[in-house]
């Protein structure tokens, strides 16, 4: 192969020839050299190419760039049957999310590099580049803001998975993995502030419920009393509920995905049965009346599956805003136009008083799930049982989000400890 040094017309001609007893092996070496030279903008000399390609170390193991490997990796993981992915396959929407992260956060920095050239120093430099990346530039904020620590860590996790799949066929080890016995954060990953859900009081729940319109009233009731994910509740059908018998329940078998696609629940443990109370049975019985088994329980006003953004913008945010307004101290009315009626209050135009009768927080629909868990814990449910009810894949997820709420018997145990310490003190004094 031949190329001009630097890729310009004035660059010195360079050439490299590869021979081997097996023609296929020589062709592979030549292909590796071509990829290497092109990935470096033709800035490698002939001797540098020979030194890298003919090296017996790991750099000679693969002629694949990361970008090419990502395509192969993604193709290999597409489910044969999207509606029934296998154990080792990734759901379509999850795979699409991974590819989006790779395209936006990974490939612009190292997509041109050979797999064998990516090492821990590369990963460290990439993490620095990510942390310096700015997003959401607007006229009001032209510099934008740094991407979140969670986004950086998610990108690293996806890269870790992709590079791990290349071991040992293309690279001898995963450069994104932490070697055994070394410190945890070797590449400078930012710390993530633990997530804190919004746990509403019964009064706050009822206040929002009183201000919900018919489109979202029963849905909010269901989320707070079952802990279902919104995407699971929006695609519930009549055939997914059992209302008669000793054990009424909801069977979670579907979930709403990106692009309005209906697919499988988030994980294997998200496919579950959720027991329901008599109050939920009463509400669902009204919802099921005169409907066929395949009909939606919570359809949109047009009879289709809700678009989450439309549901939130048109019905949920106005309900929350109304609950945040005080009758005695309402927000200022919008200015009256020269012609036509005065516009309605926006969801961000609420009261600012400290009156106890109004909502002072702005929860999401998903906070109905968090609120349900807080109520279960206050009733003495253990976290293992709650994990199964929520459909979390791992127990650690449940503990990380809700473990701090479990204060069962804390006061009684501390009082008993005080009594034991007092007795020990009296014995020593005697």
Q: What is the per-residue pLDDT across 22-39, written as a single tens digit (0 to 9) for each?
A: 787 778 778 878 877 876
Q: Specify the DSSP element, H or E, that contains 397.
A: helix 395-402
- Asked whether the predicted pLDDT for residue 341 surpasses 50, the reply is yes
What is the token pair recorded at 136? 């959401």
For 159-217, what is each residue's pLDDT tens digit? 999 999 998 888 888 999 987 777 778 899 999 876 677 999 999 999 999 999 999 99
In our burial notation (b when 16+ CB lie closer than 10 A, e otherwise), range 55-75 reads: eeeebebbbbbbbebbeebbe
> Both tokens of residue 65?
């760039």
Going by pLDDT thresholds of 50, 70 and 90, the confidence category of residue 315 is very high
Q: Are 95 and 78 in contact (CB under 8 A)?
A: yes
Average pLDDT over residues 223-246: 96
What value does the mean pLDDT of the chain take?
Answer: 88
- Judged by average pLDDT, the poorest of 37-41, 238-242, 307-311 is 37-41
Q: What value does the mean pLDDT take over residues 328-351?
A: 93
Total residue count of the chain as it appears in this document: 430
Q: Is 60 exceeded by the pLDDT of residue 58?
A: no
| pTM of the complete model | 0.72
Taking 70 as the threshold, does the pLDDT of residue 147 lie above it? yes
Report helix, strand or coil for 142. coil
Can you say how many angstroms the Cα of residue 266 is from the centroid of all Cα atoms in its chain? 11
Mean pLDDT of 216-225: 97
Mean pLDDT, residues 55-79 taken together: 75
For residue 55, what pLDDT is reported? 63
pLDDT over threshold 60, residue 56: no
* pLDDT exceeds cutoff 60 at 313: yes
Residues 354-412: tens digit of each pLDDT? 999 999 999 999 999 999 999 999 898 999 999 999 999 898 888 888 887 877 666 66
**What mean pLDDT do residues 286-299 have?**
96
Positive/negative CA dihedral, 116, 153, 71, 38:
negative
Predicted local confidence at residue 67, as pLDDT: 94
Give the mean model confidence (pLDDT) for residues 93-98. 89
**More confidently predicted of 19 and 361:** 361
Read off the pLDDT of each residue in 298-326 and give the average, rounded to a whole number.
96
Domain-by-domain residue ranges, the chain? Answer: 2-54, 66-164, 200-329+346-422
Crossing angle between the packed helical segments 149-164 and 92-101, to the nearest 10 degrees: 110
Calpha distance 350→324 (Å, rounded)? 6
Strand stretches in 103-165, DSSP E: 134-135, 145-146
What percent of the chain is modeled with pLDDT above 70? 93
With b meaning 16 or more CB within 10 Å and e meaning fewer, what string describes 21-37?
eeeeeeebbbebbbbbb
278 and 107 Cβ atoms separated by less than 8 Å: no
Lowest mean pLDDT across 2-11, 87-96, 365-374: 87-96
Cβ–Cβ under 8 Å, residues 261 and 254: no
CA gap 350, 148 in Å, rounded: 29
- Spell out the CATH class of 200-329+346-422: mainly alpha
Alpha carbon of 185 to those of 47, 58, 97, 181: distances in Å? 37, 24, 25, 12
Higher pLDDT, 339 or 140: 339
Give Cβ neighbours of residue 354 (< 8 Å, ≥ 6 apart): 360
- Burial degree of 380 (CB within 10 A; 0-12, 13-18, 19+): exposed
- Identify the residue with better confidence: 295 or 378: 295
- At 430 the pLDDT is 63
Return the pLDDT at 241: 98
Are the C-beta atoms of residues 14 and 46 closer than 8 Å to each other?
A: yes
Q: What is the pLDDT of residue 413?
A: 65
Q: Own/partner pairs for 34-40, CB < 8 Å, 24+ apart? A: 34/1, 35/63, 35/64, 35/65, 35/114, 36/63, 36/114, 37/1, 37/3, 39/65, 39/112, 39/113, 39/114
Nearest Cα to Cα of residue 24 among 63, 58, 50 = 63
pLDDT per position as a tens digit, 250-276: 999 999 998 899 998 988 899 999 999
Q: Which residues on adjacent β-strands are paired with residue 263?
A: 255
Instruction: Report the C-alpha gap between 148 and 135 in whole angstroms.
Output: 10
pLDDT tops 90 at residue 223? yes
Tokens in use for 205? Answer: 């729940």
The 8-class DSSP code of residue 313 comes to I
What band does 72 get if pLDDT is binned at 50, 70 and 90?
very high
What is the sign of the dihedral through the CA atoms of 222, 227, 228 and 234?
positive
């Amino acid at each position: 192969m031949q190329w001009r040094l630097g890729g310009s017309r004035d660059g010195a001609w360079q050439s490299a020839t590869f021979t081997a007893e097996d023609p296929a092996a020589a062709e592979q070496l030549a292909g590796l050299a071509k990829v290497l030279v092109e990935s470096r903008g033709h800035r490698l000399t002939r001797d540098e190419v020979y030194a890298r390609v003919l090296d017996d170390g790991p750099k000679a193991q693969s002629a694949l760039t990361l970008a090419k490997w990502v395509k192969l990796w993604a193709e290999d993981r597409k489910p044969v049957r999207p509606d029934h992915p296998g154990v080792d396959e990734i759901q379509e929407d999850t795979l699409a999310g991974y590819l989006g992260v790779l395209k936006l956060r990974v490939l612009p920095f190292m997509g041109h590099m050979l797999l064998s050239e990516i090492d821990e120093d590369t990963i460290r430099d990439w993490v620095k580049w990510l942390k310096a990346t700015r997003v959401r530039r607007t006229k009001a904020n032209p510099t934008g803001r740094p991407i979140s620590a969670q986004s950086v860590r998610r990108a690293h996790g996806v890269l870790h998975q992709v590079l791990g799949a290349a071991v040992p066929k293309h690279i001898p080890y995963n450069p994104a993995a932490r070697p055994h016995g070394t410190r945890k954060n070797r590449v400078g990953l930012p710390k993530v502030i633990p997530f804190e859900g919004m746990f509403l009081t019964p009064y706050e729940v009822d206040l929002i419920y009183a201000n919900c319109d018919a489109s979202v009233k029963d849905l909010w009731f269901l989320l707070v009393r079952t802990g279902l994910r919104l995407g699971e509740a929006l695609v519930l059908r009549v055939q997914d509920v059992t209302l008669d018998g000793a054990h009424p329940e909801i069977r979670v078998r579907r979930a709403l995905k990106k692009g309005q696609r209906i697919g499988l629940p988030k994980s294997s443990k998200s496919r579950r049965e959720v027991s329901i109370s008599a109050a939920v049975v009463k509400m669902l019985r009204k919802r099921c009346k005169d409907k066929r088994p395949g009909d939606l329980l919570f359809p949109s006003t047009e009879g289709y599956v809700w678009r989450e953004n439309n549901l939130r913008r048109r019905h949920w945010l106005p309900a929350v805003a109304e609950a945040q307004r005080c009758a005695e101290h309402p927000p200022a009315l919008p200015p009256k136009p020269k012609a036509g009626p005065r516009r309605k209050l926006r969801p961000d135009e609420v009261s600012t008083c400290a009156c106890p009768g109004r909502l002072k927080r702005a929860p999401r629909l998903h906070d109905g799930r968090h609120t349900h868990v807080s109520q279960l814990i206050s009733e003495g449910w253990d976290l293992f049982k709650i994990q199964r009810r929520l459909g979390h894949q791992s127990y650690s997820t449940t503990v990380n989000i809700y473990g701090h709420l479990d204060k069962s018997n804390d006061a009684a145990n501390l009082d008993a400890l005080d009594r034991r310490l007092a007795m020990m003190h009296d014995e020593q004094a005697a």
